Amino acid sequence: MCLLAVLYRLVPESPILVAANREEYYDRPSSSPSIQSGKPRVLCGSDQRAGGTWLGVNQHGLFVGLCSRRSNADPFGTRSRSLLAREILRAQSARKGIDKAMEELTSHRYEGLNMIVCDAESGWVVHSDQDQEVLPLEEGLNIIGSQNVNDPTDERVRLAHRLLTLQMLDSPVKFLAVASKVFARSPAPHGRATMIVRGSDYGTVSSTLIALSPKPRDAIFQYSAGAPDSAKYEDYSPMLRDILSRGLREARSKSKAT
């Protein structure tokens, strides 16, 4: 279970704004975001057990975010969902990424998942359980938990939506400021929806805030290596700006060559 919010194409300076809390077993090791080797360059955290990721951005401005999905399917013999996210981040665009996602989901077995794949040109939501569903990512606020995107029956999604719409989020700075407080909301009394999950062996293990902008120098990537109500967000923006600048230079070089 994770919580992922994407404000899509509502703020011209940053068409992709992201806030995400990751929940996982405490004994499953992961590493903080780093630039991965190979092409395209990708900035993402790494699941040290399977080698994949749960969230990342590549040099083409492609964002991929993954959540587990409540499922009744038999997980036996499945491939790690984190590897699927890593495969999609090799794509040059969201459209090519979603094609890759469907190819993988029809040829390999994965546990239930929800995923957002988007860039400045197009955005997509994937729900995959025993069957797969692909939906266009709507302009505005999209929130996914363990059920469908913006599911009105998901109390946690409803709470996040209410807290993120109490004021106008009309700039990347305002979105990130509000989202950092919302996603750091400490656990509520038992039985009530909460942003932070804290169990005996499972809970919120990290949090990420992202702003993707047409100009690489304006991009922002902040990461909390722990539940954000107790761990500070650290700034990884220089890494994101580096790979986005590389992508822009390569795109310009290809354009001149043709």
Q: Which domain holds residue 65?
A: 2-257
- CATH number of the domain bearing residue 186: 3.60.60.10
Instruction: Indicate the number of domains in the chain.
Output: 1
CA gap 84, 61 in Å, rounded: 18
> Using one digit for the tens of pLDDT, what is the confidence trace for 25-79?
999 999 999 999 999 999 999 999 989 999 999 999 999 999 999 876 666 558 8
CA gap 60, 250 in Å, rounded: 10
User: ∠ CA 194-135-85 to the nearest 5 degrees?
Assistant: 70
Q: Which of 101, 176, 111, 182 is nearest to 146 (CA)?
A: 111
With cut-offs at 50, 70 and 90, classify the pLDDT of residue 209: very high
> Using one digit for the tens of pLDDT, what is the confidence trace for 2-12?
999 999 999 99
Report pLDDT for 75: 60
Q: Which of 93, 45, 7, 16 is nearest to 239 (CA)?
A: 45
The residue with greater pLDDT, 194 or 1, is 194
Tokens of 33: 């975001």
Q: Average the pLDDT over 131-160 and give the result.
A: 95
